[in-house]
Structure 1
Amino acid sequence: MSVIEVNDVTFQSEIQKKELTLVEFGAVWCPPCKALLPILGELSEKYGEQVSILKLDCDESPITPGSFGIMSMPTVIVFHNGEPVEKLVGLRPMSVYENVLSKYMATV
């Protein structure tokens, strides 16, 4: 598995593919977003088929982040059954993302 890039057009269909989806809202020019990419890659490897890991470029696709009130980057939103359940603003250690995902893993 790897991190899947999505945009305003593909976002909705991608978050419906699995029960649990983590989406990073960022931009290519954002240093904390760049620092988050290896963490997302590790999460993708660790959780594989259980969790979809997506990233959306807010500059290229501004409609979706606007609909979720994204004000700063990176912002990570975890979706369970297509509904947003957790929102993490700013770069966090990998353990924070793991803890959030593990809360919802039991139901997957």
Structure 2
Amino acid sequence: MDTEKQLEANSNNSVRNIVVAIAAVILSIALFLGLKTENNPLSLESQFKQSTSLDVAFANEKPTLTEFYADWCTSCQAMAGDLGEIKQAYGDRVNFVMLNVDNTKWLPEMLRYRVDGIPHFVFMDSKGNAIAESIGEQPKGILEMDLDALIAKNPIPYANKTGQVSQFEPQVTVTKDTNTDPRNHGG
């Protein structure tokens, strides 16, 4: 009986060791791919780091494409590669501004441009005036034609078009602070 229990225990240990080894390999691959994606110059995060700030875009008198996005947005992720290439090709003539809808700092802009789906693109002239918008995934060629028109100060040919979007609703909660209520009289 002791030999059978010992064989069974050894068998269980072998199976456990194999499962642990497989899990370690899978986690190593996931970690490697995660680090590789993070350093990808066409990733959303790296594009955000290279984007022009809204203040600079409004001051430098170049036309601007503002993109409202989120890291979790599958449509934004799907377009990241094409947008990265477009930004490299047009970056000397157009400001590319990226505003993350998960950052409440951009709530006034989200309300101003009525962002209710992402990606949401706002085309702005060199004075910072919104002249057109498009919502959702846009093919690379369409965006290039729109940017060419923006640069030439022509009407945006594919403005106000809606592609596939990720729905977004700003999470704003209004709470009443009794300490600042003027009727409270500090009491």
State TM-score, norm by structure 1: 0.82
Aligned to 2:51: 4
Aligned to 2:68: 25
Give 3-state SS (helix, strand or coil) of 2:116's partner: coil
Structure 2 residue 137 is the aligned partner of structure 1 residue 91: yes
1:76: how far off? 0.7
Q: Match for 2:102: what amino acid?
A: D
Aligned to 2:116: 71
Considering fraction of residues, name the structure with more helix: 2
Q: Match for 1:66: what amino acid?
A: L
Q: Match for 2:146: what amino acid?
A: V
In 2, distance between residues paired with 1:44 and 1:98? 10
- Residue 5 to residue 50, structure 1, CA distance change in 2 (3 Å): closer
- Structure 1 unpaired stretches of 5+: none
Match for residue 90 of structure 2 among 3, 25, 47: 47
Q: Which has the higher contact order (CA 8 A, sep 6+)?
A: 1
Moved more, 82-91 or 58-67: 58-67
Contact 1:40 1:53 in 2 (8 A): no
Which 4+ residue blocks in structure 1 deviate beyond 6 angstroms?
Answer: none
Contact 1:22 1:54 in 2 (8 A): yes
- Structure 2 unpaired stretches of 5+: 1-46, 154-187
Contact 2:52 2:95 in 1 (8 A): no
1:5: how far off? 6.2
Query: Deviations along 1:19-39, whole A, 9 cap, x unmatched?
Result: 211111011111101122222
Match for residue 106 of structure 1 among 152, 167, 183: 152
In 1, distance between residues paired with 2:58 and 2:125? 9
In 1, distance between residues paired with 2:82 and 2:61? 20
Q: In the comparison of the two structures, how many residue pairs are matched?
A: 102
Contact 1:18 1:52 in 2 (8 A): no
Q: Match for 1:84: what amino acid?
A: A
State TM-score, norm by structure 2: 0.50
Q: Match for 2:51: what amino acid?
A: I
Query: Deviations along 1:1-26, whole A, 9 cap, x unmatched?
Result: x64164xxxx2443332421111101
